[in-house]
Chains A and B, each alone.
Chain A
Amino acid sequence: MTPKALTISQFFFKKRLHLTLLVLILGLAYVVSSIGLGFQTTALFHAQDGLIWLLHNFIPNAESMRYWQDIGHQLVRTFLIAVTSTTCAAVISLFLAALGANTLSLNNAVTWFIRGFSSLMRNIPIVAWAMILLFSFKQNDLTGFLALFFMTMGFLTRAFMETIEDFGMDKIEALQATGANYLQVIFQGLLPEIAAALLSWVLYMIENNVRDATLVGLLTGTGIGFIFDLYFKGMRYGAAGLVVLAVIILVVGVEVISNLIGRLIE
């Protein structure tokens, strides 16, 4: 019995056939979804129009400079809320993750409950959080804080749980063999070793929340998102450009600092 061997030309023919089929299927999916949405592909070639418009209208002029103080104030508030919501969420997430991680948990039901809870928290769209909170907490910073807090809690709980599970069972068992109890295992063994990993997750979430804070602000009428909306809809494009500039400075600044810290704790 001879094994079925492909000749070289057959091999390449098959490879090309697969590639062609893949491109065809994706192309077809593209066309179908474009029609379904009403998207015109020609718009892609006009993408530069937006950038030109941006550069043309959004350059802050002398007149918009008087908004600088308002914008600066809101920028600092937005940053503080992004940081505060992350740290508060991180404390609770760490607690939940320590209870729910597979390697530490005493009970499977607890693990599944915490997993489900964190999945629920992060998959409820932030729009829904913002809207429900807006209805009861009204238009203020607390609403934005809580919306970011709930979502961050969902993300960090999963991230922390995975970090703890990556720590492995062996070290925990070794510590337990020396007579360490649950709390000692966590505080003497686990936390010192995974602190750097946890901190980099926290920094990543702060970066993310600074970005999302604009969106939440737009929806709930607070912070930097709100004043952007105000200037943008009032056609004060110079001032809106100043807001965009401020957001860019903040996001890039946070990114640079967090990269720096990330490199120091590596």
Chain B
Amino acid sequence: MIKPEKQLTIPTPTAKGPQFKMPVKLKDRRRVTIYLTLLVLAYLTMVTLPTMLPDHLNLKTASLTFLQNIQIMFFHPGLSNTTFVQLIQALLESILLAFLTTLIGSVIAFVLALVSFRQLVPAWVGLAIQSFMALIRAIPNVLWVLIYSVVFGLGANAAVIGLTFHSVAYLTKVYTDSMEELEPDAIETMRAMGLKNGPIIRQALVPNFIPSYLSWTFIRFEINFADAVAVGAAAGAGGIGYQLFMASSFYFNFHEVGVIVYLILVFAILLEIASYHLRKRVMGNQ
């Protein structure tokens, strides 16, 4: 009988019974960060929530009137101080405001994004532009419009210029981020072929960038519409937001608020659907 030189032995494990110890990895940076963040957030919430209840407010009656008003708004919309045509005009004004600020913003932001594109310019230029944009975004939109309504006087000029600031700052950031998705190798290859910056931008950067350009610009249009409504109310910049402000805090007419909210809702939801389909198509092409 031939025996193998080395005999195979299969170790049979002995059963140890069920193990109840779970391996806890304390050095897991990701897990620790998540737990710590959640803990801090939960603590802040627990501390703040009780202090929020005001002393002289009957929560029950307040909630009841709130529900009543919601009911009036959504189930009994009606007009008394303005006409439907006026409201449509105001809505159109807000849409135009959003369109103009998006258009101006996207043109300026495109130029700024090219200027701060890391692979074509020195790093400090990009850093300087991005920091300046972060500073602009740190000042809330309403404050920009309020500041310009003092400088230019209340009106379309102040609204457009004030809203354009955030538009430019936001778009510059997202444009630069999506431009940076282009492989650095591709640009190096083109450099090696003897191409200058101009053709590189026109032939490689821009065609590659168009899909994300479209979807980001459209997303900004959505945001700008919401901002146009908000600023119209808070800074008196006109449009449907101003009508909303008048109806709710001047006439206290919740029937009218209902009509205005419905108008805004219809347009906002249409935008959302359009944006969803645009993004799906753009992603499908890639």
* Chain A residue nearest in CB terms to B69: A132
> B41 touches which one: A33, A49, A87, A252 (CB < 8 A)?
A87
* A141 at the binding interface (Cβ < 8 Å): yes
Of the candidates B30, B134, B148, B230, the one whose C-beta lies within 8 Å of that of A264 is B30
Q: Answer yes or no: B146 CB below 8 A from chain A CBs.
A: yes
**Cβ contact of A127, chosen from B53, B97, B156, B245, cutoff 8 A:** B245
Tell me the smallest distance from the CB of B221 to a CB of chain A, in Å: 13
* Whole-angstrom CA separation of A113 from B137 in the bound complex: 35
Complex: how many Å from CA A141 to CA B130? 34
Give the shortest distance, in Å, between B144 (CB) and chain A (any CB): 8
| A 79-110 to B, binary, CB cutoff 8 A, 1 in contact else 0 | 01101100110000000000000000000000
Instruction: Please tell me which stretch of A4-12, A40-48, A59-67, A175-183 contacts chain B, meaning at least 4 of its Cβ atoms lie within 8 angstroms of it.
Output: A40-48
With A and B bound together, what is the CA distance between A49 and B147 in angstroms?
11
A29 to B49 Cα, complex, angstroms: 49
Partner of B265, one of A44, A123, A203: A123
Per-residue 0/1 for B54-69: is the Cβ within 8 Å of any A Cβ (1 yes, 0 no)? 1001000011011001
> Of B150, B234, B269, which contacts A215 at CB under 8 A?
B234
Report how far A208 CA is from B84 CA in the complex, Å. Answer: 33
User: How far is A215 from B44 in the complex, measured between Cα atoms in Å?
Assistant: 22
Complex interface: stretch among B115-123, B180-188, B246-254: B246-254
Return chain B residues, CB-CB under 8 Å to A142. Answer: 52-54, 57
CB-defined interface of A160-199 with B at 8 Å, one 1/0 digit per residue? 0000000000000000000000000000000000011001
Give the contacts of A197-233 with B (CB-CB under 8 A).
199, 202-203, 211-212, 214-215, 218-219, 225, 228, 232
Q: Does A1 contact B (CB under 8 A)?
A: no
* B110-151 contacts to A (CB < 8 Å): 134-135, 137-143, 146-148, 150-151
Interface size bucket, A side?
35 or more
B100 CB contacts on chain A under 8 angstroms: 30, 33-34, 37, 39
Distance (Å) between the CB of A23 and the closest chain B CB? 11
Q: Mostly helix, strand, loop or mixed at chain B's interface?
A: helix
Contacts of A212 in B (CB 8 A): 140
- How far, in Å, is A145 (CB) from chain B's closest CB? 6
Enumerate chain B residues within 8 angstroms of A120, measured Cβ to Cβ.
265
A265 CB-CB contact with B under 8 Å: yes
Q: Contact partner of B264 among A44, A123, A265, CB < 8 A?
A: A123
Are A265 and B134 touching (Cβ within 8 A)? no
Judging by beta carbons under 8 Å apart, are B57 and A196 in contact?
Answer: no
Does A138 lie at the interface of the complex (its beta carbon under 8 Å from any beta carbon of B)? yes
CB within 8 Å of A: which residues of B? 29-30, 33-34, 37-38, 41-42, 44-45, 47-49, 52-54, 57, 62-63, 65-66, 69-70, 73, 92-93, 96-97, 99-100, 103-104, 134-135, 137-143, 146-148, 150-152, 155-157, 160-161, 164, 226, 229-230, 233-234, 241, 244-245, 248-249, 252, 254, 257, 260-261, 264-265, 268-269, 272
Give 10 CB contacts A-B under 8 Å.
A40-B157, A43-B152, A126-B230, A127-B233, A133-B66, A134-B249, A211-B140, A228-B143, A247-B139, A255-B134
